[in-house]
Structure 1
Amino acid sequence: MDLEPVASTDLGVLPGKNAEYGTREYWEQRYTQEPDSAFDWFKTYADLKPLLDQHIGSKGARMVVLGCGNSTLSSDMYRDGYENIVNVDYSDVVVGQMRQRYKHQSKMTWEVMDVRALALGDGSVDVAIDKGTLDALMCDGGDVWEPSAELCANVGREVSEVERVLAPGGKFIWITFGQPHFRKRHLERATWTIEVERLNDGGFDYFVYVMTKAAHC
Structure 2
Amino acid sequence: MSANPTTTASTDLSVLPADNTAYGTKEYWQQRYRQEESSTFDWFKTYKQLEPLLSKHIGSKNARILMLGCGNSTLSGDMYDDGYHNIVNVDYSDVVIDQMRRRSQQHQPKMSWEVMDVRALSLDDGSIDVAIDKGTLDALMCDKGDVWEPSAELCKNVAGEVNEVDRVLAPGGKFIWITFGQPHFRKRHLERPTWELKVEKLNDGGFDYFIYVVTKKK
Partner residue in 2 for 1:79: 81
Q: How many angstroms apart in 2 are the aligned matches of 1:197 and 1:63?
A: 20
Report the Cα offset of residue 93 of structure 1.
0.4
Give secondary structure in 1 for the equivalent of 2:11.
Answer: coil
Write the mapping of 1:176-191 to structure 2, written as runs, cut at 5 A.
176-191=179-194
CA-based RMSD of the aligned residues comes to 0.8
C-alpha distance in 1, partners of 2:140/2:3?
Answer: 11
- Deviating runs (4+, > 6 A) in structure 1? none
Could you tell me the TM-score, scaled by structure 2's length?
A: 0.97
Aligned partners of 1:6 and 1:40 also within 8 Å: yes
Do 1:3 and 1:135's aligned partners in 2 also have CA atoms closer than 8 Å? no
Whole-angstrom distance in 1 between the partners of 2:180 and 2:188: 15
By how many angstroms is 1:210 displaced?
Answer: 0.2
TM-score (norm 1): 0.98
State the match for 2:176 in structure 1: 173
User: What's the counterpart of residue 158 of structure 1?
Assistant: 161
**Does the aligned pair in 2 maintain the 1:39–1:70 contact within 8 Å?**
yes
Unaligned runs of at least 5 residues, structure 1: none
Query: Between Structure 1 and Structure 2, how many residues are aligned?
Result: 215
Contact 1:24 1:90 in 2 (8 A): yes
**Partner in structure 2 of residue 108 of structure 1:** 111
* Alpha-carbon separation, structure 2, partners of 1:146 and 1:11: 33
Q: Report what 2:120 is aligned to.
A: 117
CA distance in 2, matches of 1:4, 1:126: 30
- Are residue 203 (structure 1) and residue 206 (structure 2) matched? yes
CA distance in 2, matches of 1:36, 1:107: 21
Amino acid at match of 2:176: I
**2:4 paired residue number:** 4
- Equivalent residues in 2 for 1:23-62, closer than 5 Å: 23-62=25-64
